Amino acid sequence: MPALLAENVTAGYGHSPIINDITLSAELNSVTTIIGPNGAGKSTFAKTLVGILRPTSGRIVVNDVDITRMAGHLIPRHGLVYVPQNDNVFKRLTVRENLEVGGFASRANTAARMEEILDIFTDLQKAVEKKAGFLSGGQQNLLAIARALMVDPSVIMLDEPTAGLSPAYTDVVWSQIARIAKLNTAVLVVEQNVERALKHSDEVHIFVAGRNHVHGAADEIAGLDLASIFLGRSHAS
Amino acid sequence: MSGIWYYIFTLVFFLFDYFILAMGLNIQYGETGILNFAYIGFVAIGAYVTGAFSLPNSVGTGQQYILGLSLPFPLGLILGGLAACLFAVIVALISLRRLRTDYLAMVLISLSLVLYDVCNNYVPLFNGADGLYNVPEPFAGVLHLTTNSFIPFFAGVTGAIAVVMWLVMGRVTRSPLGRTLRAIRDDDVVAAALGKDVFRNQLKSMLIGSFYAGIGGGLIMEFSGSFNPTAWLPGETFVVFAVIIVGGVGNNIGMLMGSLVVETLLVHLPAFLPDIPGHPGLIEYFDAVIIGVLLMVMLWFRPQGIVPERLRRAATFGVRDDLGAEANLPPDELSALAPSPVVQPGTLQARSATNE
Ligand SMILES: Nc1ncnc2c1ncn2[C@@H]1O[C@H](COP(=O)(O)OP(=O)(O)O)[C@@H](O)[C@H]1O
Ligand SMILES: [Mg+2]
């Protein structure tokens, strides 16, 4: 059983669905990436996973627990945590406070966990007392990821964690993603940079017009004609 | 006691009373981001319920009101605070669960108008437009206080209550609950994604703030012995907002400063000035203008208020971040960038590009 399983999920904002019949799974110790053109429904899918949007059909299972209709704030307890695409830190809270909000276990646990996490995110260590709004865009994204790890998730869903970052900082974020996956976590990432997605992921899914158009191991996907897939043509190459 | 002391202790009373009221609104708006435009309604409920519990049975008083149990201080006051909490639960269940900030604010302001009309027109509740009066002065009998000595005495009692409530509020805002409330204020979706029950926490914030509103209202009732609809016109909510914005949203001690500047110096001190001959009430109207202008000036030049949320050294860029590391800027150039509150990703790329 995969850590995360989404089966035939259909969802949207109003009456007509944005994403249709999406099936996708994510395994522990691996990086699963969703790529696809702008507006394909990647963020919509992410929001549906974590209860911000309600699927009209299909089901979502995390660690064998069906979370499809669960209230959003109960989902992290079952091991799935989400980092949104933009504006993902509490800007007027310090870095430390941001991390503390993520830890809902005991106070002692929170402190110990924060130490472990700051050991991984050395960049943040230097800025713990700084307000998160004063961090650079890249640091804010790292903080959001670090804070999500405070929950001790088995599945972490990152929506475009490298959007708007410089190439150097994008590498920093991706190396952290690889590291997180090795901590017995399933990492699900939305990424618009195809090249990086293929380089760093185990599994790749291509969303086009609200459907999970193509998926497979990263090296298989690398051999496909991605330009025509993105344009919505058939993936027979 | 000479007249001047009477004035001074009245000002002291309102200083502490609005300190309490401002702390209550601050946890709702400043800490949690709930734009409670009905705040004065919670104050009024506290005042009326305190009065109605403290007054004797209404038969033969020439007034009409519910309750009338002659409860001794501070029972009536505490029940006034709890009544405001009860109203908060009702308001929260109606509006908080479904509505976002701006819509919530609209619903709350309407609710405050409805409450006002009900209290003003439904006489059997709290004596309608005449309001409650002749509410017994706490301890006046026991301590043989005259009308004059009651005023400094009760200003002192209010000061003591305010200090206790300040200490309690300090604990709340520093606790994990306070941190969660501020997280919700900054981003409720992200807070929920981290496992925080947004509604439950907002409800807690509403309850705590409403208790402060109710106590602040009850104290006004106990202090002045009367309370009627002219004391809580819906616009009064904005005086409390002015107190917290001037004082510094999100900071409890700022609330005392805001209360001093807005409530004591601007609202109550001028009320003791003699009327300008031929223009009765002009000073009060002018007051509203001054508060409005002060509010705009503060929001423009010092939005963080007199006492900012947190006086942290860290916010002054003592620490190098990746901006400096990537672009290799010397420290002084780094600090030149500091005033920009949030370094946007776009800026970051532009800078590293020009430095490569
Ligand atoms: N809050 C919203 N309300 C209504 N429609 C939305 C909303 N957010 C996104 N959409 C629409 O849903 C579609 C998919 O958007 P999104 O999931 O953000 O795409 P992606 O993340 O793949 O770029 C787009 O057509 C977009 O206009
Ligand atoms: Mg998106």
The confidence score (pLDDT) of residue B251 equals 84
A57 and A93 inside one domain? no
pLDDT of residue B338 exceeding 80 = no
Q: Which atom of ligand 1 is least distant from the CA of A45?
A: 17
- Expressed as residue numbers, the domain containing A129 is 80-152
What DSSP element (H or E) covers B5? helix B3-25
A160 and A60 inside one domain? yes
Alpha carbon nearest to ligand 1 atom 19, residue = A39
What DSSP element (H or E) covers A82? strand A80-83
pLDDT in tens, B168-227: 999 999 999 999 999 999 999 999 999 999 999 999 999 999 999 999 999 999 999 999
Q: How confident is the model at residue B33 (pLDDT cuts 50, 70, 90)?
A: very high
Q: Which of A100, A164, A168 sits opposite B326 (nearest CB)?
A: A168
CA B267 to chain centre: 15
The confidence score (pLDDT) of residue B341 equals 36
A134 and A109 inside one domain? yes
Share of chain A above pLDDT 90, in %: 70
Residue type, B141: G
The confidence score (pLDDT) of residue B103 equals 87
Chain A neighbors of B315, CB-CB under 8 A: 130-131, 134
Averaged confidence pLDDT in chain A = 91
Partner A contacted by B339 (CB < 8 A): no
The confidence score (pLDDT) of residue A107 equals 66
The total number of structural domains that make up chain A: 2
Nearest CA in chain B to A106: B176
Alpha carbon nearest to ligand 1 atom 9, residue = A44
Q: How confident is the model at residue B320 (pLDDT cuts 50, 70, 90)?
A: very low
pLDDT in tens, A1-14: 899 999 999 999 98
Q: Of A208-212, B106-110, B171-175, B270-274, where does mean pLDDT reach its minimum? A: B270-274
Indicate whether A169 belongs to any domain.
Answer: no
Chain A neighbors of B186, CB-CB under 8 A: 90-93
Using only C-alpha atoms, chain B has a radius of gyration, in whole angstroms, of 23
For ligand 1, pick from A9, A20, A43 the residue to mutate: most ligand atoms within 8 Å of CB.
A43
Q: How confident is the model at residue B326 (pLDDT cuts 50, 70, 90)?
A: very low
> What pairs with residue A26 in β-bridges?
A4
Alpha carbon nearest to ligand 1 atom 4, residue = A13
Do A134 and B317 lie within an 8 Å CB cutoff?
A: yes
pLDDT of residue B346 exceeding 80 = no
A103 and A138 inside one domain? yes
pLDDT of residue A44 exceeding 90 = yes
Give the binding-site residues of ligand 1, using a 6 Å CB cut-off: A 13, 18, 36, 38-44
Q: With a threshold of 0.95, tell me whether the complex ipTM lies above it.
A: no
Q: How confident is the model at residue B7 (pLDDT cuts 50, 70, 90)?
A: confident
What is the layout of strands, in order, in the sheet containing A19-26? A19-26, A4-11, A57-62, A65-66
Q: How confident is the model at residue A20 (pLDDT cuts 50, 70, 90)?
A: very high
Do B195 and A148 lie within an 8 Å CB cutoff?
A: no
Chain A neighbors of B343, CB-CB under 8 A: 134-137
Share of chain A above pLDDT 70, in %: 96
The confidence score (pLDDT) of residue B295 equals 86
Instruction: Give the mutation candidate from A80, A81, A89, A101 for the B interface (greatest B CB count, under 10 A).
Output: A101
Q: CA of B344, closest CA in chain A: separation in Å?
A: 6
Give the residue, B314 or A41, on which the prediction is more confident. Answer: A41
Q: What is the mean pLDDT of residues B25-32?
A: 95
Nearest CA in chain B to A152: B194
> What pairs with residue B27 in β-bridges?
none
Closest ligand to C-alpha of residue A159 is: 2
> What pairs with residue A217 in β-bridges?
A203
A56 and A93 inside one domain? no
pLDDT of residue B354 exceeding 80 = no
Q: What is the mean pLDDT of residues B92-107?
A: 84
Partner A contacted by B276 (CB < 8 A): no
A226 and A159 inside one domain? yes
Q: Read out DSSP for B109-145?
A: HHHHHHHHHHHHH-HHHH-GGG-B--PPPTTTTTTT-
Distance CA B123, CA A48 (A): 52
Nearest CA in chain A to B188: A90
DSSP conformational letter for B33: -
Distance CA B235, CA B40 (A): 8
Do A74 and B183 lie within an 8 Å CB cutoff?
A: no
Do A101 and B191 lie within an 8 Å CB cutoff?
A: yes
pLDDT in tens, B272-319: 777 778 877 777 778 888 888 888 888 888 888 888 876 433 333 333
A4 and A107 inside one domain? no
Q: How far apart are the first and last CA of chain A?
A: 31
Give the residue, B356 or B8, on which the prediction is more confident. Answer: B8
Indicate whether A174 belongs to any domain.
Answer: no
Q: Of A214-218, B25-29, B307-311, where does mean pLDDT reach its minimum? A: B307-311
Q: How confident is the model at residue A69 (pLDDT cuts 50, 70, 90)?
A: very high
Q: What is the mean pLDDT of residues A152-174?
A: 92
pLDDT in tens, A115-161: 989 998 988 998 999 999 999 998 999 999 999 999 889 999 999 99
A164 C-alpha to ligand 2 centroid (Å): 12
Q: What is the mean pLDDT of residues B88-111?
A: 87
Domain end residue (candidates: A152, A177, A201): A152
Indicate whether A182 belongs to any domain.
Answer: no
A198 and A85 inside one domain? no
Q: How confident is the model at residue B1 (pLDDT cuts 50, 70, 90)?
A: low
Q: Which of B180, B315, B320 sits opposite A131 (nearest CB)?
A: B315
CA distances from B187 to A158, B6, B100, B104, B181 (A): 17, 47, 12, 16, 10
A48 and A160 inside one domain? yes
Residue type, A40: A
Averaged confidence pLDDT in chain B = 84
Indicate whether A211 belongs to any domain.
Answer: yes
A224 and A159 inside one domain? yes
Chain A neighbors of B192, CB-CB under 8 A: 51-52, 72-73
pLDDT of residue A205 exceeding 90 = yes
Q: What is the mean pLDDT of residues A102-106?
A: 71
Q: Which two tokens stand for residue B243?
A: 């107190």
What CATH number did the domain enclosing A210 receive? 3.40.50.300
A13 C-alpha to ligand 1 centroid (Å): 8
Q: Of A34-38, B147-151, B229-233, B343-347, where does mean pLDDT reach its minimum? A: B343-347
Q: What is the mean pLDDT of residues B151-172?
A: 96
The confidence score (pLDDT) of residue B279 equals 79
pLDDT of residue A206 exceeding 70 = yes
A44 and A160 inside one domain? yes
Q: How confident is the model at residue A223 (pLDDT cuts 50, 70, 90)?
A: confident
Q: What is the mean pLDDT of residues B135-153?
A: 87
Q: Which of B187, B193, B352 sits opposite A166 (nearest CB)?
A: B352
Indicate whether A22 belongs to any domain.
Answer: yes
Do B179 and A81 lie within an 8 Å CB cutoff?
A: no
A92 and A206 inside one domain? no
Indicate whether A97 belongs to any domain.
Answer: yes
What DSSP element (H or E) covers B107? helix B101-121
Q: CA of B341, closest CA in chain A: separation in Å?
A: 6
Assess contact for A153 and A76: CB atoms under 8 A: yes
Q: What is the mean pLDDT of residues A87-92?
A: 92
